[in-house]
Amino acid sequence: MSKSKFIFTTLMLLLILAVLTICDLCFGSTNLFNVESSNPMFSSILYDIRLPKTLTSIIAGSGLALCGLLMQSLFRNPLAGPYVLGVSSGSSLFVAIATMMISSIHVSGFFIMGKSIVTLFSIMGAFFVTLIILLVSRKNKSNVTVLLVGLMLGQILSAFQGLIEYMSNADNLKTFVMWGMGSVGSTTLQDLYFVIPIYTITIIASFFFIKPLNAILLNEQYAQNLGVNVNALRLSVIILSAVLVGIITAFCGPIAFVGISVPIASRLFFKTSHHLHQMTFCLLLGACVVLTADVICQVLSSQFMLPINTVTTLIGSPVVIYLLFKSKLSIG
Amino acid sequence: MIDIKQLEIGYQNKRQYNSVFKDINLTLNAGDLVGLMGDNGVGKSTFLKTITGNLVPLSGEIKINSKSITHYTSQQLSQLLSIVVTEKIGGFNLTVWDVVATGRTPYINIFGKLTPEDETIITKALEQLNLLPLKDKLIDELSDGQRQKVMIAKSLAQQTPIIVLDEPTAFLDHTSKHHLFATLKQLCAEQGKLIIVSSHDLELMKTYINKSVMMAENNSISIK
């Protein structure tokens, strides 16, 4: 992809993102276009409710899409992604454990307890699963095996999670089930002061792996011969993915579809393999997808919140299936 | 250029020690087109993986330019020798240009930006293997033989004094095989590269190579 085409595409995506951001900020149970900006309700809705939600959508969408891209490149498998490989399930289980721990020491309320511990557990869960998947992929080179192990692992972790849910009390269970449906609406501006620095550092760090990621698309032997420290790359990608998936899952719940589908769609739309291009496009496209899902949620359900997972899956999956059938391009 | 003394190759882990071939003594010089021959399973690929630093020798020593291979960093080694292996690559929107451009990995900045000089080198590598008209094609759209040529062009773009090719003619037709070997011979003669090629095609090897290394069962190795 030429430099001018890359810049043009990036600007177009930024423009779409800006429009979606405005829509997401304004649409909802109260349409801000109809409220005077001098009205105190305007700033209250905008700054306390809409802005955190919009920023969370952007962070969740871009972060998960980037994670998916990193994992797909590392495993050289287009079906890899945080949800498919069980990484999100790892986060969920560890969050469930954290929630249970809280109730067992009688500190009431999952969300009151300070999200830092939940976030830490979520990152640990993501790291734990990614590490297992990586060990499997080193033992067995077959992509199918790695994916199946990821799926099975996800099932095992979900079963454990079910067990914890069964043992949990009604209040914690309700909070946890709501969290599990995925939501970008429960994050406050205070939470974002914690999330944004970690997110920013992780995203910037990812851009330092463009060169080795380009090389590893050939295979590990070639990458090693091209001077890439493959083990260091693996560990770095695992840590970056685990931190991103962990922190996003802690605040938004396990969001399906975005991690696997956005990188696939990005490769189908933008015919480039270079990671500078694909990372930029995945970040922007991921943010656009989750913002669109959130806008749809708000427009369709002004009185109650639709789970974001339902919308991302319902609108995204058919689009990707259509693209896959229509396109002759190789995505992986 | 490459000095090999009392080399033993194979695989080793905590549980097992599997020696594939031992007592290899060889000296390979700049400008040599070396043909590595032997039956399937005799240890040709293991030998090539070991001399390229992909496998650790079980014992013995490999020196490149009088310095032990273990004393080179992976970055230094990537500017010294390049490889072409039999495993197929593809997918991920990889075009012919993209693959050949990865050959510049040891020389480019951290964000993978190619300079005009890098682009000239890539274009030249594509030209040498008649791949320039295919540069924007996806790897998945090429025949097996064309893919093999792309990987060789990647090696040329890597600009290393040593090139190691494991079965590069496996998928090539008669004309392509001869064109490839003629190109390799030309690179040895004009640029003084040391090229090591493993192949089962003895007739072809005899026509082009100037040194043959025949590996046989029972650790017997003959050099001509």
Q: Is A215 on the interface with B (CB under 8 A)?
A: yes
What mean pLDDT, rounded, does chain A reach? 83
For position B23, what pLDDT does the model report? Answer: 87
Q: Is B142 on the interface with A (CB under 8 A)?
A: no
**Residue A332 resides in a domain:** no
For position A188, what pLDDT does the model report? Answer: 82
The DSSP-derived string for A199-237 is: HHHHHHHHGGGHHHHHHHTT-HHHHHHTT--HHHHHHHH
**Residue B97 resides in a domain:** yes
Q: Report which of B171, B182, B195 is spatially closest to residue B87, judged by C-alpha positions.
A: B171
pLDDT digits (tens, 9 = 90+) for B119-132: 999 999 999 888 99
Find the domain containing A10 and state its range.
3-326
A271 → chain B, closest CA residue:
B93
Preferred mutation among B105, B107, B167 to probe A, highest tally of A CBs within 10 A: B105
Strand bridging mode B33-38 / B59-64: unpaired
pLDDT digits (tens, 9 = 90+) for A86-108: 888 888 888 888 876 665 444 44
**Chain B residues inside the 8 Å CB shell of A219:** 85, 87, 89
d(CA B24, CA B19): 12
The enclosing domain of A268 has a CATH number of 1.10.3470.10
**Residue B120 resides in a domain:** yes
**Residue A158 resides in a domain:** yes
At residue A7 the predicted structure's pLDDT band, cuts being 50, 70 and 90, is very high
d(CA A63, CA A67): 6
Q: Is A2 on the interface with B (CB under 8 A)?
A: no
Greater confidence (B65 vs A41) lies with B65
For position A162, what pLDDT does the model report? Answer: 86
**Chain B residues inside the 8 Å CB shell of A207:** 111
**Chain A residues inside the 8 Å CB shell of B158:** 226
- Range in A34-38, A49-53, A173-177, B54-58 with the lowest mean pLDDT: A34-38
Beta carbons of B77 and A227 less than 8 Å apart: yes
Q: Tell me how close the Cα of A269 comes to any Cα of chain B, in angstroms.
A: 11
- Range in A55-59, A128-132, A252-256, B115-119 with the lowest mean pLDDT: A252-256
The total number of structural domains in chain A stands at: 1
Q: Is A231 on the interface with B (CB under 8 A)?
A: no
Query: From the list B52, B94, B111, which residue is nearest A225 (CB)?
Result: B52
Other CB atoms within a 10 A radius of the CB of residue A107 amount to: 12
Average pLDDT over residues A109-125: 69
For position B17, what pLDDT does the model report? Answer: 83
- Range in A194-203, A230-239, B131-140 with the lowest mean pLDDT: A230-239
**Residue B168 resides in a domain:** no
Going through B65-179 in order, the beta strands assigned E by DSSP cover 67-68, 81-84, 162-166
Non-local (6+) Cβ contacts of A174 within 8 A are: none
**Residue B175 resides in a domain:** no
pLDDT digits (tens, 9 = 90+) for A146-159: 778 888 888 898 89
Residue A111 has pLDDT above 50, yes or no: no
Q: What is the CA radius of gyration of chain B?
A: 17
Average pLDDT over residues A274-287: 95
The total number of structural domains in chain B stands at: 1
At residue A304 the predicted structure's pLDDT band, cuts being 50, 70 and 90, is low
pLDDT over 90, % of chain A: 27
What is the torsional sign of CA A47, A49, A52, A57?
negative
pLDDT over 70, % of chain A: 89
**Residue B110 resides in a domain:** yes
Residue A76 has pLDDT above 90, yes or no: no
**Residue A331 resides in a domain:** no
Q: Is B77 on the interface with A (CB under 8 A)?
A: yes
For position A101, what pLDDT does the model report? Answer: 64
Q: Is A73 on the interface with B (CB under 8 A)?
A: yes
**Residue B39 resides in a domain:** no
A230 → chain B, closest CA residue:
B74
**Chain A residues inside the 8 Å CB shell of B92:** 72-73, 76, 78, 217, 267, 273, 330-332
Preferred mutation among A225, A229, A274 to probe B, highest tally of B CBs within 10 A: A225
Residue A214 has pLDDT above 80, yes or no: yes
Residue A79 has pLDDT above 60, yes or no: yes
For position A112, what pLDDT does the model report? Answer: 45
pTM over 0.80: yes
Residue type, A249: T
Residues A206 and A278: beta-carbon distance below 8 Å: no
Residues B2 and B194: beta-carbon distance below 8 Å: yes
A23-27, A124-128, B100-104: which is most confident = B100-104
At residue A303 the predicted structure's pLDDT band, cuts being 50, 70 and 90, is low
Residue ranges of chain B whose pLDDT lies below 70: none
